[in-house]
Amino acid sequence: MIKEGETVQLTDGRNRFFIRLKKGEVFGTHRGNISHDRIMEAGYGEQVETHTGHRFTVVKPTLHDIIMHGIKRKTQIIYPKDSGYITLKLGLTGGMKVLESGVGSGALTIVMANAVKPDGKIYCYEKEEKYIQNAYNNLSLAGLESYVEIKHQSLEEPLPENFFDAGFIDVREPWLYIKNIKKSLKKGAPVGFLLPTTNQVSNLLQALKENAFINTEVVELLERHYKPVPDRLRPEDRMVAHTGYLIFARNG
């Protein structure tokens, strides 16, 4: 039996719905309504019927499922092809305290929060207040809201913390705030940035050099999917190519 509070995915092979279960609630779709209690009783891997007789299979969603198909996007997101690499490059693990600025819709925040639980925390600074509640809602869908604190503050202001084990910055002009970022990080801590254009990367590289950051790297990741048809395997017509340049360094 599935427990109350868990997030499940209902799928019929074409449609996907993501629900955080609560006793007594009813979920409505264009294929009919179904009670949360019925979903909990059915369990993972089983089928449930709506009041119109349409069948959905109940599956446990991965974080990739939730990020790509479940969360509500009010901004461009950092895709899993980048967020997984970012998490490894920053060495995120349980117990770490991590700075994030530019939370947006919270896609990267979800991945990082999952990496630092149960004893770590992501401290997010978001300049645009209008994005904060949606980010919390998305984190809640993933069941990770308790590992994140989002503050309505720009990096223009000095940060109150100076204990971060790592950081990731996704703002338009991070080179303007390098001194505040540097002061908030522990000595030797890794930090990453995402920027869409080469001229922005050049400005950041200059600022990192002037502020004694070390081990600087720039990388771009491309992702190409193939059509899974055995007798005519070929690339998809579209691909997720350039999403941004990733820049990594350590606080020297």
What local confidence, expressed as pLDDT, does residue 85 receive? 97
Reported residue count of the chain is 252
What per-residue confidence (pLDDT) applies to 90?
A: 98
pLDDT tens, position by position, 94-109: 999 999 999 999 999 9
From residue 54, alpha-carbon distances to 9, 50, 202 in Å are 15, 5, 55
pLDDT value for 78: 94
pLDDT at 88: 97
Q: What is the pLDDT of residue 141?
A: 96
- Paired residues of 26 in beta bridges: 35
Q: What local confidence, expressed as pLDDT, does residue 1 receive? A: 86
Topology of domain 65-250, CATH? Rossmann fold (3.40.50)
Amino acid code (one letter) for 175? W
What is the per-residue pLDDT for 175?
97
3-state secondary structure of 29: strand
252 residues of the chain, pLDDT tens digit each: 899 999 999 999 889 999 999 999 999 988 899 999 999 999 999 999 999 999 999 999 999 999 999 999 999 999 999 999 999 999 999 999 999 999 999 999 999 999 999 999 999 999 999 999 999 999 999 999 999 999 999 999 999 999 999 999 999 999 999 999 999 999 999 999 999 999 999 999 999 999 999 999 999 998 889 999 999 999 998 877 788 999 999 999
Give the domain 7-61 fold: Vcp-like ATPase; Chain A, domain 2 (3.10.330)
Range list of β-strands (E), the chain: 7-11, 16-20, 26-29, 32-35, 47-49, 55-59, 97-101, 121-126, 148-152, 166-169, 190-195, 214-219, 226-227, 234-235, 245-250
Looking at residue 186, its pLDDT comes to 97
Q: What sign results for the dihedral spanned by CA atoms 75, 81, 87, 93?
A: positive
For residue 185, what is the DSSP state? B
pLDDT of residue 194: 97
The pairing of strands 121-126 and 234-235 is unpaired
Mean pLDDT over all residues of the chain? 95
The residue extents of the domains of the chain are 7-61, 65-250
